[in-house]
Amino acid sequence: MSQPLSRRSVIKLGAFAAMTFWVRRVPAETAPFALPPLPWEESALAPTISGQTISFHYGKHHRTYVDNLNKLVAGSELADLPLERVVQETAGKSDKIAIFHNAAQAWNHTFYWNSLSPKGGGKPSGKLLEQIERDFGGFDSFRTKLAQAAIGQFGSGWAWLVKSGGRLEILATANADTPITMGKKPLLTIDVWEHAYYLDYQNRRADYVNAVIDKLLHWDFAARQFASE
Ligand code: ZN
């Protein structure tokens, strides 16, 4: 008698099917990387982030990273890889720097959209909250450190909550740099490039960061990343 598939097997089968999909669909003249749809309507995060900001940020900035990446990898073996692998394969290689910048920004932005929710903010719960309390000495202390990392990042970049070796960490990365090249698993990110907030907050990055943390961070998404391997 056959056993029902375990949850893990189903997840593995799903990942395998996704990989097969990636490998199969490489028709010569078709762009290998697509701009994923937003997980909510453009105006859904207003007034914390306006529809106008999302329209430019997603429709112009994110789209341009994807379009540039497609031009840069056209005809190369990188066009056959999943996006995450392109980021990892090109990181730190001076002759691949333009591909890395565009691939990493394409990946980081998709992760950022998923890190935000119109019903976000507040606190996580369950095991993720327990580990935040353990690793940062309480949720309020975590919140302060995340805000400091995001506000204090000099110039363009990102603030992240990541899982690393069984512990949670807060990271700030510059420009396109991303924890997925550092062996760390991102749970949430905040984009602190000026294009993420300038239309709504001008130079007041701290106001944007605090509003995103308190009203938009998608803790259910973070909990799913936390629980997955
Ligand atoms: Zn951005």
Chain mean position to CA 138: 24
* Average pLDDT of the residues in 11-23: 44
CA of 80 to the centre of ligand 1 (A): 25
Question: pLDDT over 70 for what percent of the chain?
Answer: 87
Query: Which residue spans within 68-174 are E strands per DSSP?
Result: 157-164, 167-174
Measured in residues, the chain has a length of 229
Q: Is the pTM of this model over 0.75?
A: yes
* Average pLDDT of the residues in 181-186: 97
pLDDT tens figures, 148-171: 999 999 999 999 999 999 999 999
pLDDT tens figures, 87-141: 999 999 999 999 999 999 999 999 999 999 999 999 999 999 999 999 999 999 9
Position 31 scores a pLDDT of 80
CA of 111 to the centre of ligand 1 (A): 11
CA of 61 to the centre of ligand 1 (A): 7
Q: What is the CATH number of domain 7-40+49-114?
A: 1.10.287.990
Going across the sheet that includes 185-191, the strands are 167-174, 157-164, 185-191
Determine phi and psi for 161, rounding to 5 degrees.
Answer: -105, 125
CA of 165 to the centre of ligand 1 (A): 28
According to CATH, the superfamily of the domain at 126-227 is Iron/manganese superoxide dismutase, C-terminal domain (3.55.40.20)
CA of 56 to the centre of ligand 1 (A): 10
Q: How many whole angstroms separate alpha carbon 157 and alpha carbon 110?
A: 15
CA of 62 to the centre of ligand 1 (A): 7
CA of 196 to the centre of ligand 1 (A): 5
Position 30 scores a pLDDT of 65
Q: What residues does each domain of the chain span? A: 7-40+49-114, 126-227
CA of 6 to the centre of ligand 1 (A): 38
